[in-house]
Amino acid sequence: MQYFGYFYDCVYFPLQESGAGDSVYDAEAGAPGAGGRHKPLAATSTTEAAQRIAIGKLAEELRPHLLSTKRMWALGYPLEIEPNSGKAAVYISPPTRPRSNFTVFDVNAPEFVPGSQGDSGRGSLGSSPRSESDEEADAVEHLCVRCDKRFRLTREGEYVVDESCVYHWGRLGGESRYACCRALYGSRGCTTARFHVWNGTKPGMNGPLEGYVQAKSPRGGVYAIDTEMCYTTNGLELASIAVIRPDGRLVYKSLVKPSSQVVDCNTRFSGIRPRDLARATKTLRDVQNDILGFVGSDTILIGHALENDLRALKLLHGAVVDTSAMYPHSRGFPLRRSLRALSEELLGRRVQHGSSGHSPLEDARAAMDLVLLKLTEERKKKQNVVQFPNLQPYDPLICSA
């Protein structure tokens, strides 16, 4: 696996795999790790001072890339509704891809048989439809993010109809074919899951959303962060998190126990398996407290499509650098390039490859490397600008004299 290194003044940051001896939670200030360890005392004050200078320099170079509040809102970042309220609002742009209209009809289904014993009373001929208020009292309707089919969950998180989800897990690419099986758009899915799932949001305004936290005082620092999530009856919930420094060293890593019933671990993308969640002990609140132990109000957080991570963490934060915005899609917003494509093209590194799922540590390092690469390119451009003295326009009469 290939990693890069970058010079920032007097400190060289080699981006390489963390060894077994890396602290899981040291966060520059030497906070106790998950195993009770502290930052090694062998680190000299000169080295620490040089690192602080380098991080400060890095933060200054990153400031032009910080997302504005307006940009954050358009990208779906959570924003605070009222100061110190712990409540957020999120705007979700409507999907760019068309909804699938492919439907298989069964003429023997109860809804096509007037007066059948299996009639649900919702639109069948000769029946008395239930009122919408009765429906809402029993269940809430959601749109499956995998197969685009509507389903209903009771307020206790139980499915009204036990129905499998048939979907394509691959993206819709060129020639309107799915990447998973190369089938044409609108064709029946190639993968079957036990339940339909939703992500906890809907297009348009979402809120007020409770349980959000934010840092109150400045701490400085620059970190890259990535999370993995699983589907629960309450939507996507945090299941794993990794935070790294600019030098690639691991700062914080933890499995997280979702608060709601898990419907699908989403292993193909999250890398999370049921056995992982079985040994998870930290809750979302625990992770929030840990993160706020080293992330301040001015700390710069880096990530790819970081709004998803902050929503999963329920973290309000205004100093963010998003690699999906730093490297925009050639066809413009709302299209965004994937971390996998950017990493392979610009870093020569393959991430999110295979069916074993994503690694939050690997993805965080890829996002950090992409940012450092961009800053290095900007520095080179500034150094290559030749400063010419003020020259007068060419005058052939003067030059020939």
Pair (45, 139) in one structural domain: no
Domain count, the chain: 2
Please say if the pLDDT value at position 173 is more than 60: yes
Pair (272, 316) in one structural domain: yes
**146, 169 Cβ separation under 8 angstroms:** yes
Pair (231, 288) in one structural domain: yes
Cα 239 to the chain's mean position, in Å?
Answer: 12
With cut-offs at 50, 70 and 90, classify the pLDDT of residue 252.
very high
Pair (178, 99) in one structural domain: yes
Specify if 390 maps to a domain: no
**62, 325 Cβ separation under 8 angstroms:** no
With cut-offs at 50, 70 and 90, classify the pLDDT of residue 27.
very low
Q: What is the separation, in whole angstroms, between the first and last Cα of the chain?
A: 65
Specify if 190 maps to a domain: yes
* pLDDT, mean of residues 349-363: 74
Least confident of 9-18, 61-70, 216-225: 9-18
Higher pLDDT, 83 or 49: 83
pLDDT in the model for residue 50 = 65
Pair (322, 264) in one structural domain: yes
Specify if 273 maps to a domain: yes
Pair (129, 12) in one structural domain: no
3-state class (DSSP) for residue 366: helix
pLDDT digits (tens, 9 = 90+) for 276-331: 999 999 999 999 999 999 999 999 999 999 999 999 999 999 999 999 999 998 88
Pair (334, 217) in one structural domain: yes
Q: What is the mean pLDDT of the chain?
A: 79
Pair (154, 274) in one structural domain: no
pLDDT digits (tens, 9 = 90+) for 116-147: 333 333 333 333 444 444 545 578 999 999 99
Specify if 393 maps to a domain: no
> Which of 145, 174, 202 is the C-terminal boundary of a domain?
202
pLDDT in the model for residue 174 = 74
Specify if 318 maps to a domain: yes
CATH of residue 312's domain is 3.30.420.10
Q: Give the whole-angstrom CA distance, residue 162 versus residue 164.
A: 7
Pair (60, 138) in one structural domain: no
Higher pLDDT, 4 or 299: 299
Q: What percent of the chain is modeled with pLDDT above 90? A: 54
Pair (114, 162) in one structural domain: yes
Specify if 324 maps to a domain: yes
pLDDT in the model for residue 118 = 36
The size of the chain, in residues, is 401
Higher pLDDT, 50 or 343: 343
Domain range for 276 is: 5-92+212-381
> Which of 184, 202, 220 is the C-terminal boundary of a domain?
202
* pLDDT, mean of residues 326-339: 87
Pair (67, 172) in one structural domain: no
> Which of 179, 202, 225 is the C-terminal boundary of a domain?
202
Pair (216, 329) in one structural domain: yes
Specify if 193 maps to a domain: yes
16: CB partners within 8 A, 6+ apart: 3, 5, 248
Specify if 207 maps to a domain: no
